[in-house]
Structure 1
Amino acid sequence: MPEPRTPHQLLERSQELFLRKDLDAFADLFAEDGTHELPFAPPGVPAYLRGREPIRRYLTSITSTPLEIKEFRNQVVHDTADPEVIIAEYEAAGVVTATGRPYSVRYVQLLRARAGEIVTWRDYWSPLDGVRALGLRGLLPVIVQTIRARIARGRQATSGASVFPASSTMPGT
């Protein structure tokens, strides 16, 4: 695919990269000071990231998620009065790798693009859909990892270093 330039092309390219789990390349679609927002982020998942490299660290941390996306379906893309902005509604459908069970997570995303780069990616996904997909057994590793990350952040905060919030097993990027 040629270099994406429009919001529609960036959305299409991002979905191709998600299906391949190439989230490092997805981060390359963001402007240097772009933002990735997750307004409904559960505990342990950052609600706001600014900058391509923090976004890259977050996105690449979720490649080990036990939810493997197989397809995007029921997609509707809405143009807005602002040519830089589109709003996409769709479902990500796939399998829980630990159990083989199918799952579906609903998304509404606002994408703002400028000069062929994503400047804003606002991701309204349903954490409840993720919980349903993983089930109680699947959530236990998420809970343990969240606790460990919080402990590590507490230790790093006292030493003056920064720790990126870990959430490698939660869906919703």
Structure 2
Amino acid sequence: MAKYYQKDGVYALAYAPVDDFPNVGFKRANKGRQEMTDYFTNFSKQLGNLRYSDPKTWTLLQTTQKGTYVFEYSSDGVIRATNKPYQQRFIAILRMAKDGQIQAVREYWDPYVALRDFGLIKKTQ
């Protein structure tokens, strides 16, 4: 994935719960190709069979800034530790550079779903 970004590109997770769960591997920003590669390599060790919805089904929202796109999409996979399904919905703001590579992505997702499904929090009665 990192090869699609500029060398100093940024992949940010705006709602990553890094303050409350500092040792889980969440990061609010992955800067540069190596940090992105490290993040996704670690993430794939925890989540298998990750599939994003077909880009043809993504919602594209109009922006007034040239080279900036907003997408809404979903993914599903299997949590390796429990073999339970994991489903998430996303909104991402993507900025393209003039060279055709991605300059930055800021992805918004529901951290509650991740924390619950990975067993980091439990529902109360």
Superposition TM-score, scaled by structure 2 size: 0.75
Among candidates 60, 69, 90, match of residue 86 of structure 1: 69
Q: In proportion to residue count, which structure has more helix? A: 1
RMSD, aligned α-carbons: 2.2
Any unmatched runs of 5+ in structure 2?
Answer: none
Shift of 1:82: 1.8
Aligned to 1:64, what secondary structure does the other structure show?
A: helix
Q: Is structure 2 residue 88 aligned with structure 1 residue 105?
A: yes
CA distance in 2, matches of 1:131, 1:123: 17
Aligned residue in 1 for 2:109: 125
Listed as ranges, the matches of 1:63-74 within 5 Å are 63-72=44-53
Work out which of the residue numbers 30, 33, 41 in structure 2 matches 1:60: 41
Larger relative strand fraction: 2
**Cα contact 2:69–2:95 (8 A) shared by 1:** yes
Out of 50, 55, 58, the residue aligned to residue 31 of structure 2 is 50
The CA distance in 2 between the partners of 1:117 and 1:63, in whole Å, is: 23
Cα distance change of structure 1 residues 84 and 78 upon mapping to structure 2, 3 Å threshold? same
> Larger deviation: 78-87 or 117-126?
78-87
Give a deviation string over 1:121-162, Cα, whole Å, max 9, x none: 10111111112323x3xx49xxxxxxxxxxxxxxxxxxxxxx
Cα distance, 1:32 vs structure 2: 1.2
Alignment gaps of 5+ in structure 1: 1-25, 141-173
The offset of 1:35, in angstroms, is 1.1
Instruction: Among all aligned residue pairs of Structure 1 and Structure 2, give the percentage whose two residues are the same amino acid.
Output: 27
After superposing on structure 2, the runs of 4+ consecutive aligned residues of structure 1 that deviate more than 4 Å are none
Alignment: residue pair count:
112
